[in-house]
């Protein structure tokens, strides 16, 4: 997608603080962190949201979670939260699948 912010980050057209990469994923720090560690994990291929990615490429969905665990471990966190927002009604603002990895502070339940 030519206008997709995250596609441009994956392609290296827009700089980001990349903390981890695999053949299929890129993880970078969120510009508006909601926790001391707040990293976004995105697939290199464009899919609008988590449901679309899961239907098209379940293995890529699993790799996002595996990458999230690797990021948390590399940053020294055993406890972390992972969040997918799917749709504008729940706060998705960039329509390229992305997983939020948050750690470093107490998380309340329910979130939001």
Candidate list 38, 77, 96, 98, residue with the active-site label: 98
Domain boundaries, given as residue ranges, for the chain:
5-103
Q: Would you call the peptide bond into 49 cis, given omega within 30 degrees of 0 as the criterion?
A: no
State pLDDT tens for residues 23-43: 999 999 999 999 999 999 999
Strand partners, 42: 26
Q: Among this protein's residues, is 98 annotated catalytic? A: yes
Pairing between β-strand 25-29 and β-strand 37-43 as defined by DSSP bridges = antiparallel
The answer to whether 45 touches 57, Cβ cutoff 8 Å, is yes
- Determine contact, residues 67/27, Cβ cutoff 8 Å: yes
Per-residue pLDDT tens for 10-25?
A: 999 999 999 999 999 9
Which CATH class for the 5-103 domain? Answer: alpha beta
- Please give the structure tokens belonging to residue 36: 């001391």
């Amino acid at each position: 997608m030519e206008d997709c912010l995250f596609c441009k980050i994956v392609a290296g057209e827009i700089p980001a603080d990349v903390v981890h990469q695999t053949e299929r994923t890129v993880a970078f720090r969120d510009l508006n962190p909601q926790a001391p560690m707040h990293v976004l994990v995105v697939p290199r291929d464009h899919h609008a949201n988590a449901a679309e990615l899961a239907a098209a490429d379940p293995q890529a969905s699993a790799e996002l979670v595996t990458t999230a665990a690797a990021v948390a471990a590399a940053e020294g966190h055993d406890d972390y939260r992972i969040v997918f927002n799917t749709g504008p009604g729940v706060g998705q603002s960039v329509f390229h699948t992305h997983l939020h990895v948050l750690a470093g502070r107490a998380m309340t339940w329910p979130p939001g």
